Structure 1
Amino acid sequence: MTVMTTDRQLPRVLVVDDEAPLARLVSAYLERDGFAVESVADGLMAVELVRRWNPAVVVLDLGLPGMDGIEVCRAVRAFSDCYIVMLTARVQEPDRLKGLLVGADDYVIKPFSPKELVARVRVMLRRPRQADEPVIEVGALRVDVAGREVHVDGAPVDLTRIEFDVLAALATRAQVVFTRRELIEEVWGPDWVGDDHLVDVHIGHVRRKLGDDAADPVFIKTVRGVGYRMGAGR
């Protein structure tokens, strides 16, 4: 394990990659940009360090030996809502989206620019919520934007940070139909580059957790050929 810095006042990023030169390069760029960084090359160690160190962001290689990135992501999602950026050398869409299906928030295809990766991490953490933001009710759905809490029929719903941000973007402008690109700019930031269909994956996660029927949703509606908007609820 390589410890770059452990300043408690800096946002924490865990880099998980068994390619030592790449891990050192990414860690150096992150540290230079003001992050506290730790780096490990092993999936089991990564899960344990997320538990102990509680990073804000995990940069996670998909192709780890042994416990691979998919397994690590699934294990981390069982107890943490930290942001997860998946690194993948696989260019086919099913491979690129596989991490998103188990809870990753974003992905970057190798080879990549370390500056681009740092920019994505920075954008993820640049989403402060104002204390005067509303509590929105859509039928049985209640979204507390400032408190970052969601309830359906009074029961709490456990969303990841990205899932919450997608839902909050839709709920705060319930009459607006968002294209995929508009949701990406709202949630991931205008500099994000990649496959717009990652929005569909996160919408699917949110619908499932809200108990929304994908065939006939009441909370998040699909506007054919355009994008998504909030429904009337139930």
Structure 2
Amino acid sequence: MYQPEEIRILIVDDEPSILKFLSLGLRNEGYQVMTAEDGLSGVNAAQEFEPHIVILDVMMPGMDGYEVCKLLKDIGNVAIIMLTAKDEVEDRVKGLNLGADDYMSKPFSFQELLARIQARIRNQFPHMMGDVQVGPFRIDDRRKEIRYEQRVLSLSATEYELLKYMVVNHGLVLSKATILDKVWGYDFGGQENIVEVYVRSIREKLEDREHQLIRTIRGAGYRVDLP
């Protein structure tokens, strides 16, 4: 597993109590932490600190979280988890369209935030992880190898990236459009049914005949359920 002290986390929030609570908790977990109390300070801090993860409040005076998110995504590779007191679908969609990688509504569980941070590290910074155990799966990104129940799966390069993406995001419903964006890339001009073809192949290699591991959520996409 990765060493937390290698991971830099920037917290941008205009509530001092949130900054204190999160910075103390994350430092206790071993992460490097920097804080900023407004959007502009957050952007400046990101340029100096070069964080791997940014925990970003949406509702801030002046430069709000949406604008900060867009600027940070233009700067470089950073995983952004947005925090908001709102729980409206439109707000989430707006943040995700601007490049946010995850979303949490206040109040939230610190343990859930830790889990989401770890998921983002697995997904966006796998080189810092070495090999990762996720349920019955062991993902070795350096060798581009996935073991399932101690058995090395014979996967093509695309099958590897697809299964890795689905496993590290286990429990979440992933639409075909999202999978295409994350695995094939935004400039991929193919059809969504190619996802079905690859999922079918991976299920065969997992011997998942009853679709208990990779479930089809009708009208929504796919979800990996771990034992």
TM-score calculated relative to the size of structure 1: 0.62
Structure 2: unaligned runs, 5 residues or longer: 130-139, 146-155, 198-215, 223-227
* d(CA) in 1 for partners of 2:160, 2:74: 22
Structure 1: unaligned runs, 5 residues or longer: 1-7, 135-142, 146-166, 174-181, 229-234
* d(CA) in 1 for partners of 2:176, 2:93: 10
Q: Structure 1 200/95 Cα, relative in aligned 2: closer, same or farther at 3 Å? A: farther
Identify the structure with the greater helix proportion.
2
Task: Verify the 8 A CA contact 1:84 1:106 in the aligned structure 2.
Answer: yes
* d(CA) in 2 for partners of 1:30, 1:200: 34
Shift of 1:227: 2.6
* d(CA) in 1 for partners of 2:64, 2:9: 19
CA RMSD of aligned residues (A): 3.2
Aligned residue in 1 for 2:186: 209
Count of matched residue pairs: 174
Deviates more, 1:91-100 or 1:25-34: 91-100
Identity of aligned residues (%): 33
Aligned residue in 2 for 1:73: 69
Shift of 1:48: 1.8
Shift of 1:96: 2.1
Aligned residue in 1 for 2:169: 188
Shift of 1:11: 1.2
1:90 alignment partner, one of 75, 83, 86? 86
Aligned residue in 2 for 1:5: none
Aligned residue in 1 for 2:36: 40
Task: Verify the 8 A CA contact 1:29 1:115 in the aligned structure 2.
Answer: no
* d(CA) in 1 for partners of 2:177, 2:56: 19
Task: Verify the 8 A CA contact 1:212 1:218 in the aligned structure 2.
Answer: no
Q: Structure 1 79/55 Cα, relative in aligned 2: closer, same or farther at 3 Å? A: same
Aligned residue in 2 for 1:227: 221
Partner-residue secondary structure (3-state), 1:78: helix
Partner-residue secondary structure (3-state), 1:125: helix
Shift of 1:91: 1.0
The 5 A counterparts of 1:70-219 are 70-126=66-122, 127=126, 128=129, 129-133=140-144, 169-170=161-162, 183=166, 186-189=167-170, 196=173, 199=175, 202-203=178-179, 205-206=181-182, 209-212=186-189, 216-217=191-192
Question: Does 2:9 match 1:13?
Answer: yes
**1:161-186 residue CA offsets vs partner (Å, 9 max, x unmatched):** xxxxxx9642x58xxxxxxxx93xx2
Q: Structure 1 217/37 Cα, relative in aligned 2: closer, same or farther at 3 Å? A: same
**1:77-125 residue CA offsets vs partner (Å, 9 max, x unmatched):** 1121111100011111111222111111111110112222123213322
Partner-residue secondary structure (3-state), 2:83: strand
Task: Verify the 8 A CA contact 1:169 1:187 in the aligned structure 2.
Answer: no
